[in-house]
Structure formats: C-alpha cells, structure tokens
Chain A
Amino acid sequence: MSKSFKDIKETNTWKELTEGCNIYEGATSKYFNTGEWRVDTPIFIEEKCKQCLLCIPVCPDSSIPVKDMKRLDFDYDHCKGCGICVKVCPFGAIEMKKGEN
C-alpha cells in the first residue's frame, strides 16, 4: 500500500487503498479542478478595485490570490462562481457574468 496521495487511483484494488481512505498529505484540494463546477463567473475589474480586500475572507474556496497586500485576478481552477465576492464588494469592482467563463 502506497501512502502517497498521487498513488490513490480509481484502479486501486481494496488491498492498495490507504487505511480508511485516509490521506497522508495536506492541501491536496489544490489538485482538483473544482472550477469546472462553475455556472456563472465573477469578473475582476481592476480599475475599480481599491484593494480593501473585503472579498478575500468571504471567498469560501480561497480562490482570490493575494500578493504583496494586493488581490490578483481569480483562481478560476477553484472558483465555483458563488458570487459572494460580488455582493461584498463596495466598489462594484466584481461583476457576475453568465456562463462558465
């Protein structure tokens, strides 16, 4: 039985799985492109953004990267398009667009 997360595959036999399907690594959710679940897409309008960063803590999927105290464009591999960031933005710097992209 391998204990590496990358060796957990749908072709594993019952003898090859980890005990209780436990995962012996952290932050493995980044390997899953859950962004493909998205129905509507938030669009970042950079010129309207005041970098208040209110959108950061409300994102349930940590899909707004921050660098040097400034938010960047969305991580669309993990954003599921819930739209909470649009509601919380005081400056209209995020708009919801119909569709996955």
Chain B
Amino acid sequence: MSIRERLSGNEAVAVAMRQINPDVMPAFPITPSTEIPQYFSAFVANGQVDTAFVPVESEHSAMSAAIGAEAAGARTLTATSSCGLALMWEELYVAASDRLPIALALVNRALSGPININCDHSDAMGARDAGWIQIFSESNQEAYDNFVQAYRIAEHKDVRLPIMICQDGFITSHAVENIELIEDDKVKAFVGEYCPENYLLNDNGTMAVGPYAIPAYYMETKRAQLEALKNAKKVALEVAEEFEKISGRKYGLFETYKTEDADYIMIIMGSAAGTGKEAVDELRAEGKKVGLLKIRLFRPFPSEEIANAIKHVKYIACMDRTESFNGHSGPIGNDVRTALYNAKADCEVINYVYGIGGRDVTVESLKSVYEALMEIEKTGDVGERYHYLSLRD
C-alpha cells in the first residue's frame, strides 16, 4: 500500500532522496531549494541514511564535489536554484561530458536581475545546452515521482549522463499538497544498487576521467555524448513503464490533455500546466475545442514525438517561462517550431513569455491565450507572433 501524506515539493524530493539513500550529497543553500538539503541533513543526522553530506562553500564547489564523488564511483546528488545553478555553469558541462550520472534537484527560480527569488525557468533554460537530461514536474507528486525515476534513466548503460529534475520555485516547492509516497523498500528495489563499470576508486583498474581532447577528438566525443542523450528518450519511457507497475502512475515524454480533437493547443511546462488544464476544462464546457500538451522531458527534446502529437492542429501557443533575448522566440517556441517545420506541418504558432519572476499565472490569463488563437482563426490575422502575457502595456 502506498503512503498517503501531505508534503511540500521540497520535502517530497528530500523524502525521495532519503529513500534512494545516495552515497554523497554536496550542497549549498539557496532560496527556494534550501529546504531540500536542510531536510536531508536532518535525515543524515538522524542516521536514516548512510550518505556523506558535504557542506561546501559555494555551488561551484557543490557541483565540483559531486563530479569528484561520482567519478570516484559514488551515487551523488545535490539541489540548487537560480544563481546557484548559474555558479555551477562550468561544472554542469564537465559532469555531462565526463558522463557522470549525477542527479540534481532544481527548484526553478528567476535569474538576476533585477534580483528576484520567485519562479520562472530562466535558470534551467540557461543550462539547456549543457548536456544534462532535464525533466520538469507539474506538481509535488510529479517532483517526487520524477526524482525516484531519475537514477534509473541517468545511470542506464546507454545513457550515463547527469539528470536535472525541475520543479517550480515556491509554487510546488513550498506549497503543501496531498501526495502518495511509495514504500521505502519498493523505492530501494526500484532504484537498485549503483554498480558502475569504471570508476576512480576501483581496485581492479586505474582510469583517468576527463582528459584533454585535442581537435582530433573533441568533435567525436561530443557526437557520442549526443547519442547518449538521445538514448535517454527510450530509457525514460522504459523506466516510466516500470515505475507505473510500482506506483500506478503513468508518465511519458510529455502529457497530452484533451488534444485529440483539439483545434487550439497550448504547449507548456511545469506547474502552470495545471492552471492550463483548468482553462481547458472551462473552455471545453463552453464547447471550445481546446487542448494542452505538457512537456515532461525537455532535454533531450522529443521533437518527432511532439510533432506527431500536434501536427494536425491549426493553432498552437507555445508558453515560455523565460526570456531568451533573441527577439522572436522562447526556447519552447524554438524547439516546437523546429519540430513542426521538420515534420512539414502547417500550423500557426504563436509564442508567449509568461509568469517570469513569479508573475501570477491565472486560469483567466491562460484562457486569454486560447482566445487569442481563436481570434487569429476568426480574423485570419496572426499579427505579432511573440507576446508577453499579463504585461502592463
């Protein structure tokens, strides 16, 4: 029997970490992810885990220590947010190219400036080219479930890459929700032991991790790294299937909500997907054919799969909780348009920047996005394709 609880998203992730019982956790506190190492260090102090907790002096050191520990052969995780992730920037690339399956709980928060501690995805989006697997969660339940699945994806022999499990700062990290936890022994059996083939503290063979690669090797190494990341799609689906057996909860690369007969679709990621589903329900009640696609796996991007799911739809709104400063599109807008272009789909795509720096995302505001799509169909005038939602204009 699963355990019914009520937990904040941070606490839920800390519980998943306790159940995983990793070897090493180096961490440095930053709002709004601070509670994760805080709860976890209590588990360490109480003797509930065998983890070596390393209170480092910065996030640069946290990720450096994680790289060292993981390369040594230890299952390692950490947590951070916003500027903390930014301070890890160099090490994120090293962790990925050295093929170290570290797990990171990212609690999404705006990057400065202006300085702001509230939710948006600018931190994760800044790291989207680092080579990490990135999974986004809508709710506390999803943050917990995704974290339980993280190592099975990251440590898979065809992948061996670090993984970032993202949830929205304060919205899910601090809000307490009902949640179903899986029993400790079931999680332990599901996650399994970490048995890397090669690691630095192996008595039976020396190795060098992260050697210098001259131009004759760098490009081939990166291509091989890409292949490993692409493999994460298939592995994530296999792991989700097994996870369903112990939890009864189903996960895919993305979730579609009432999209089958939809004429208007919103593509969104993170907690606002829940608000979007409510907007869909209200508009459906008025007879409007609207649907929603929530991205779970953002890196690698399920390009063909998403294109196949939406290419029949005429009007699409891509929702980006970040500003990309290219002047025409956000990251989701870019990726979805490329996917549709490659699939030779004929869809009208508009792109919104929403909810950045913690700007409220309401059912009404997301309904207005669908209404804008309907207006485009009615007037035949797409107009500007890049908008700010709920902006004082």
Residues of B within 8 A of A10 (CB): 216-217
CB distance from A34 to the nearest CB of B (A): 12
B225 close to A (CB within 8 Å): yes
Residues 209 to 238 of chain B near chain A (Cβ within 8 Å): 209-211, 213, 216-217, 219-221, 223-225, 227-228
A20 close to B (CB within 8 Å): yes
Q: In the complex, A8→B221 CA distance in Å?
A: 12
CB distance from B171 to the nearest CB of A (A): 36
**Are A17 and B209 closer than 8 Å at their CB atoms?**
no
Assuming the A-B contacts A25-B206, A26-B208, A28-B208, are A20 and B97 also in contact, with contact meaning beta carbons closer than 8 angstroms in the complex? yes
**Are B207 and A12 closer than 8 Å at their CB atoms?**
no
CB distance from A56 to the nearest CB of B (A): 24
Residues 86 to 104 of chain B near chain A (Cβ within 8 Å): 97-99
**Are B220 and A14 closer than 8 Å at their CB atoms?**
yes
Residues of B within 8 A of A14 (CB): 219-221, 223-224, 227
Q: How many A-B residue pairs have CB under 8 A?
A: 56
Q: Is the interface of A mostly helix, strand, loop or mixed?
A: loop
Q: What is the number of residues of chain A that contact chain B, defined by CB distance less than 8 Å?
A: 16
Q: Which residues of B contact A (CB under 8 A)?
A: 97-99, 160, 198, 205-211, 213, 216-217, 219-221, 223-225, 227-228
Known interface pairs A22-B209, A23-B207, A25-B206; 16 further A-B residue pairs with C-beta atoms within 8 A, sorted by A's residue number: A12-B220, A14-B220, A15-B224, A19-B198, A21-B210, A21-B217, A22-B98, A22-B198, A22-B208, A24-B198, A24-B205, A24-B206, A25-B207, A26-B206, A26-B208, A28-B208
Q: Which residues of A contact B (CB under 8 A)?
A: 8, 10, 12-15, 17, 19-26, 28
Query: Mind listing 11 A-B residue pairs with CB under 8 Å?
Result: A10-B216, A12-B220, A14-B227, A15-B224, A17-B217, A20-B209, A20-B221, A20-B225, A23-B211, A24-B207, A25-B206
